[in-house]
Structure 1
């Protein structure tokens, strides 16, 4: 079981499911049962008078029916609304037979009584469509989504809110607005992009037993468990010099806050010894603001680093384990020279803000033997790639 939260596209999701079932030989019904159990445990610990699960024609609907069975076994009042049986997947047919054996109330989605049933729910589970849908939702299913959105009940979406494009985050005509979305196995890119953030509500993912190596082409989302698993444990008797020494270069009289905020984040990441390299005029301000940071106030000109500061920086290269540069510096000749100096070193370097513009000037980062981290915001990334910020 991995601590990573994976992010997958529609095609990656399809391929992962296929390999899990056909290569690893995990039966689809086993994966579905794992999903239903995780969904059951993810339902907020609140006493619901009536849960209605609205199922669609496919395995997302089958997940909903499996959840209905587990809820019924816990004596939770639950009912299902479903499409005509000729649209069921093979797994959905099996799950439907099981919930019928337990006498769980079921309503055809064209039956007027189904709408009455929905109106009585204080929790609605959206099990209409999963990540595979790519065309606008119309007809009876659009009507059901509009009905779900019109009510005050708590809405749980299984895997992805129905009507959300799993790749782009676009709404496909109409979309369920969920209070809680439980992504199955992996979060979908569309849940993080564009309208996805607005319609998912609280977004969580659940591990259903698919081996992590099948996610080899997926991105992953940082989370506390994963970060803890990769960060080294600090010896409680170690000395601060044994836990990394960082020098952060930045700041100006106009923007002292940029280097201050960056240094605060660096300190709380767990660095052993932190120093800031700043123009002399803001040194006292930073020392007053951050008692836990040492400072090097260096020569300046008009509130910015002077040419003399460059030679002082050269003397610091062997004294620190890692560097950052760019916060609040302004774009001018000395900034460019400092960035090139650090990137020519064999030390890890983080380049941010005003330092990023010089990355485009013939610096081949692939030749660096040490790690290089770039932290652009949307506009800075657009400038680095020479494309419009809307494309980013």
Structure 2
């Protein structure tokens, strides 16, 4: 067996707990150290991982660790850029929670430093690493439902208003677009790359850009909608919210049918909803694609089941390890992240102007 990738986790919030839980199921990686600005939370995170990693009492001390190869940046949105930069400069491969940065300039800087340091830098859109996306891509390329002419994608949930919560703090990069709207927008980037046969778009060309939504009392976007038309004529509609539940699905409409992705963002993720370390014999749920094909005057329905052998976040962890070992190209290339942050900035800016 090849040497395992040794991880350090910077930050001790809920998503860090999910990551540490999922790491336990990986055959490519292992957890060595965790760190938080709150020592008690770091201790709780270490206990949650079930494997007693070393507790570092500062982010800097974790980055100086010689037994850490890769760092997962899991702190607040506005902290992603400075600590991803510090991680790369410390010689660590770096996986950064979404959004990887809050603007394009920051991401360009990280990209330059990653190349200079010869280290892997990737944004943690874990859904991109699930086999479900490979199946969906195959259907698009085979034109199972004909030529794609529309995508409707949503991600939203209801959170109680609390001006002290990260979601409602503008200076912390709060708001719906940066919290969960970045998922539908990244799916739009992914779809555009397939339709244009350009696997690494640094931007996307659009014909029309319509925005609506609501800015809440704390100054953040509480819900937002974006409609635009890709250069090839494909209509894209994105919805996001942190104040109401949305369908949380992706629908692709084609000239001869449609595909519904019932659980696009968190498929097969028992770790995401666990309140304790999962048993190592946990069986992870399959995902499903609902496919409707129109043939003449008949509508043919099919449910495609996609079996999995690990948690969604474990797929992400293993994929990152494969990239580091130079056994796989990235499923989330930085060019995708650049195109996405451009789209997010444009969306958010247009909403505030409206």
Larger helix percent: 1
Q: Which has the higher contact order (CA 8 A, sep 6+)?
A: 2
Greater Rg over alpha carbons, structure? 1
TM-score, normalised to structure 2, is 0.32
TM-score, normalised to structure 1, is 0.29
